[in-house]
Amino acid sequence: RLVLTDLDGSLLDHDSYDFSPAKPWLARLKEWGVPVIPVTSKTRAEMLPLREALGLTATPFIAENGAVIGLPPSWCHARLDRPGSGRDGMVIKHTGVDIGFIHARLDVWRQRLGVAFTRMDELSLDEVKELTGLDDEGARLACLREGSEPLIWQDSDEALARFRHSLEGDGLRLTRGGRFWHVIGVATDKGNATEWLIGRFSALRGKHPLSIGLGDGPNDIPMLEAVDQAVVIRGCHQLDVEPSAQGLYRTRQRGPLGWAEGVAYWWGQSDRRLTAETR
C-alpha cells in the first residue's frame, strides 16, 4: 500500500500549516511500513525541513506539482539512477521545464498581451509572508523554484483565457493551487508524477501497490484520478473528480482533520473486506 498526499490544505492546515490531528495516523502508517508520499506545489527546498518535521525522510516526495521528484536510496534503481548528490542522499529527477524558460516566456507574454499578473519571484519576502502566512525561512524556501512559478492573476477572466492559450504554444500550462496559479510544463502534473512513482514501486517490489490519494485543490485532480482510492478533502474549491474503479470519498472536515477522516475511511473499508474474506 502507498499513501500519496497533498500538503497545504490537506495534511497541513490551510492557514496555520499545523498537522497535529494527522499525527496518530502518520505514526500508525510508519509502524506498518506504509510509505506516505508528499505530492505538493512546494519546492524541494521547502521539503527538506518539512519531511523532517513530518517524519517522512525515508519516503519519496513529489514537489512543484510534479516537476521535481525526490527518491530515497531504497526507491532507487541500480541501473536507472545516478547516486544522490543532495546532502540527504536523495536522487532528484527534474521532469518538467526549466524555471529560466518559464520566467522568460512569462515576460514575453506579459509584454505582448499587456496582461497583469505578479510572479512569486517579483514579490518581496514580506509580501510572500503576508500572502501565505509562512515565516521568514519558509517564505525564502518557497521562492527557490526549479520547474514551476506561482503567480497572482490581476486581470480579467477573458485575459486569462488568452494568456493560457499563449502559454500552450510554449509547452506551458496553468494549474491552480489553494492560493496561487502555477505555471508548469504541459506534461507536468501531480497525476503523471504519481503514476511514475507507482510504476517505480511496482518495478522494485514486483507487485502493484494499492494506492490512496488525498487532496483539496484543482491541481490535485490528476493525482486523485491516478490512485485506486481517492479522498477529496473539504477546502476552498469544489473539485470535479472522475473517480477510479474503487471510488472517491469526500470528507466532512477540512485540512488535517479531514485527512485523518479520509485515511480512516479507506482503512476501515479494507479492514471490513479482510474480515469478510477471512470469515
Chain residues binding Mg ion by CB under 5 A are 6, 8-9, 41, 177-178, 216-217
Q: Which residue is it, cell 526507491?
A: 75
Q: Which residue is it, cell 518538467?
A: 96
Least distance (Å) from ligand 2M8 to the CB of residue 182?
6
Closest residue to bound Mg ion by CB: 9
- The candidate with the shortest Cα–Cα distance to 231, out of 246, 214, 245, is 214
Q: Calculate ∠ Cα 199-61-170, nearest 5°.
A: 80
Nearer to ligand 2M8, 34 or 172 (CB): 172
Helix (H, G, I), strand (E, B) or coil at 234: strand
Least distance (Å) from Mg ion to the CB of residue 277?
35
Question: Of Mg ion, ligand 2M8, none, which one sits near residue 216, judging by CB under 5 to 8 A according to partner kind?
Answer: Mg ion
Nearer to ligand 2M8, 257 or 264 (CB): 257
Least distance (Å) from ligand 2M8 to the CB of residue 192?
18
Beta strands in the chain (DSSP E): 2-5, 36-38, 61-63, 68-71, 91-94, 117-119, 149-153, 172-176, 181-185, 211-215, 229-234, 248-254
- Cα 124 from Cα 177, distance rounded (Å): 20
Nearer to Mg ion, 9 or 147 (CB): 9
Helix (H, G, I), strand (E, B) or coil at 104: helix
Nearer to Mg ion, 41 or 148 (CB): 41
- The candidate with the shortest Cα–Cα distance to 234, out of 213, 205, 258, is 258
Nearer to ligand 2M8, 8 or 195 (CB): 8
Which residues of the shown chain bind ligand 2M8 in the complex (CB under 6 A)? 8, 41-43, 46, 120, 132, 134, 142, 150, 177-180, 217
Question: Of ligand 2M8, Mg ion, none, which one sits near residue 46, judging by CB under 5 to 8 A according to partner kind?
Answer: ligand 2M8
Instruction: Please say if 6 is a catalytic residue.
Output: yes
- Cell numbers representing residue 269 in the block: 473499508
Which is catalytic among the residues 6, 8, 216, 220?
6
Least distance (Å) from Mg ion to the CB of residue 47?
12
Helix, strand counts (H, E) of the chain: 9, 12
Residue pair 173/142 in contact by the 8 Å Cβ criterion: no
Closest residue to bound ligand 2M8 by CB: 177
- Cα 254 from Cα 260, distance rounded (Å): 10
Nearer to ligand 2M8, 43 or 194 (CB): 43
- Please state, as a whole number, how many other Cβ atoms lie within 10 Å of the Cβ of residue 4: 27
Question: Of ligand 2M8, Mg ion, none, which one sits near residue 175, judging by CB under 5 to 8 A according to partner kind?
Answer: none
- Cell numbers representing residue 54 in the block: 513530518
- Cα 41 from Cα 217, distance rounded (Å): 10
Least distance (Å) from ligand 2M8 to the CB of residue 229?
22
Least distance (Å) from ligand 2M8 to the CB of residue 184?
12
Q: What are the catalytic residues?
A: 6
